[in-house]
Amino acid sequence: MGLEIDPEYGGSGSSFFSSILVIEELAKVDASVAVLCDIQNTLINTLFVKLGTPAQKEKYLNRLSTDMVCRILKTSPLFCTCTFTFEGSVLFIDSCYCFVPQGMQHQIAHVATQIEAARLLTYNAARLKEAGRPFIKEACMAKYLSSEVRFSIVYKGKLFLYFHHSY
């Protein structure tokens, strides 16, 4: 499970793109295994590789590459990251770290994603028009999404203001 982990720690040293390809292929056979592999390799292992101390890397990366599975548990309002070890049919919890997220970050990311998608659809329609190619479908898609995004942003903004001033 150590796709991007350096071979020094027992991993394969693969690239992020290679990890995505492996996860995509696993998903064709078993979605739950693909999700496990995705979380382990693109989130957990990456956190240890980028932010771990040398002692943490030595302790965890070798095991995450071989016999340790790490999962994310979401229990409102906490996010918990726990490392598990399987020994035969017995599951051992090695460690568990919990933190309270900043709830608006998700909403802000969602709105920013919608705005960017609407912008790119608009740019694509304009590019097609300038190139003298058919663009009506793309222009309608851009107009539709932009309208939906506008209503979504106004609604979320009103909710934010309402709840922000309620405290």
In the chain, the largest separation of any two C-alpha atoms, in whole Å, equals 65
- Cα–Cα dist 46/5, whole Å: 8
User: What's the per-residue H, E or C state across the chain?
Assistant: CCCCCCHHHCCCCCCHHHHHHHHHHHHHHCHHHHHHHHHHHHHHHHHHHHHCCHHHHHHHHHHHCCCEEEEEEEECCEEEEEEEEEECCEEEEEEEEEECCCCHHHHHHHHHHHHHHHHHHHHHHHHHHHCCCCCHHHHHHHHHHHHHHHHHHHHHHHHHHHHHHHC
Reading the chain (167 residues) residue by residue, the pLDDT tens digits are 788 899 999 999 988 888 888 888 898 898 888 888 888 888 888 888 888 889 888 888 888 888 887 765 554 444 555 655 556 655 555 565 555 457 677 778 888 899 889 889 999 998 999 899 999 999 999 999 988 988 888 888 777 776 655 54
CB 124 within 8 A of CB 142: yes
Q: Hunting for tokens 């979605």 — which residue is that?
A: 31
- Considering the entire predicted model, what is its pTM? 0.48
Predicted pLDDT of residue 154: 84
- Cα–Cα dist 36/44, whole Å: 11
- Cα–Cα dist 1/14, whole Å: 11
Alpha carbons within 13 A on the beta-carbon side of 61: 25
Structure tokens at 108: 């802000």
Amino acid in the structure at residue 125: A
Domains of the chain (ranges; CATH) run 7-99 (1.10.540.10), 104-166 (1.20.140.10)
